[in-house]
Amino acid sequence: MWFGMPDVELSSDETEHAAAHQTRRALLVTALAGCACLAASRPAGADEDQPGSDERPQKDDLLVVTEGPQAGQVIKPSDLKLGGPPVHAWPKDPKTSVVRSGSRLNEVIVIKLDPAELDDDTRAHAAEGILAYSAICSHAGCPVSEWVKGEGNGKTVFKCPCHNSEYDPRADAQVVFGPAPRRLAALPLAVSGDTLTVAAPFVGKVGVSQPG
């Protein structure tokens, strides 16, 4: 027994409608295939592969928020609250808009403090009390991610949670507790109006000291 559909003769209008439907479907399939090819050809992490993304911070670079809902947003002096909390940031080339996130050694901690609390060495690379330091602990290279009351004098300090090293940003990020062998590298800043920029390359070594 045959269970197929019987032959049905279509009218001219129905024939044109069917042809138009087939044409639209073919165009849609072609377009989707083209999009898939473009997506497949785009390399993963392309933003981090841009020229300059792994270069150290340069003079006149801007600073942008590293993560969270404001990630990528340019940091302005008016965005920073006096006394913290600090903000983690990447440098950004203002000419090419390339964010220098290709190396974790480029991440910095930005904090706004009372200029009267800063010692002379620290004040030299601050801008209206705003400071930036490397976010990489000098002990084992972990990220310095906490802003807590210190073990020694009760001041709020940067802390690396890996081995509890603490750094005082008011004293050039010198080590005040823990096994870290040296201070965090400082990134000098400049302020013009409500624009915050890098004033000079890092002062001090970024990252972990090499043995020998």
Domain 48-198, CATH = 2.102.10.10
Tokens of 60: 């006149």
Q: For the residues 50-65, what does the mean pLDDT come to?
A: 94
Provide the pLDDT for residue 172.
96
pLDDT at position 28 over 80: no
Tokens of 135: 């976010």
Which of the residue ranges 11-25, 27-41, 123-137 would you say has the lowest mean pLDDT? 27-41
pLDDT at position 159 over 60: yes
Q: Look at the pTM and tell me if it is higher than 0.85.
A: no
Sheet strand arrangement including 146-149: 146-149, 156-159, 166-168, 174-177
- The closest alpha carbon to 158, from 173, 171, 172, belongs to 173
Provide the pLDDT for residue 17.
45
Question: CB 111: neighbour CB atoms within 10 A?
Answer: 25
- Kindly give, in sequence order, each residue whose CB lies less than 8 Å from that of residue 126, ignoring residues fewer than 6 positions away: 113, 115, 118, 189
Print burial letters for 34-62: b (CB count within 10 Å at least 16), e (below 16): eeeeeeeeeeeeeeeebeebbeebbeebb
Question: Binning pLDDT at 50, 70 and 90, where does residue 210 land?
Answer: low
Question: Binning pLDDT at 50, 70 and 90, where does residue 208 land?
Answer: confident
Provide the pLDDT for residue 77.
97
Q: Rounded to whole angstroms, how far apart are CA atoms 188 and 198?
A: 6
- Match 């609250």 to its residue by tokens: 81
Provide the pLDDT for residue 152.
66
Pairwise pLDDT comparison (54 vs 43), residue with the higher score: 54
Q: For the residues 109-114, what does the mean pLDDT come to?
A: 98
The 10s digit of each residue's pLDDT in 65-91 is: 999 999 999 999 999 999 999 999 999
The 10s digit of each residue's pLDDT in 184-206 is: 999 999 999 999 999 999 999 99
Tokens of 203: 């002062």
Q: Could you give the residue ranges of the DSSP H alpha helices within 42-153?
A: 120-123
The 10s digit of each residue's pLDDT in 174-185 is: 999 999 999 999
- Kindly give, in sequence order, each residue whose CB lies less than 8 Å from that of residue 75, ignoring residues fewer than 6 positions away: 62, 63, 64, 65, 87, 89, 110, 196
Q: Could you give the residue ranges of the DSSP H alpha helices within the chain?
A: 12-41, 120-123
Which of the residue ranges 14-23, 147-156, 164-173, 185-194 would you say has the lowest mean pLDDT? 14-23
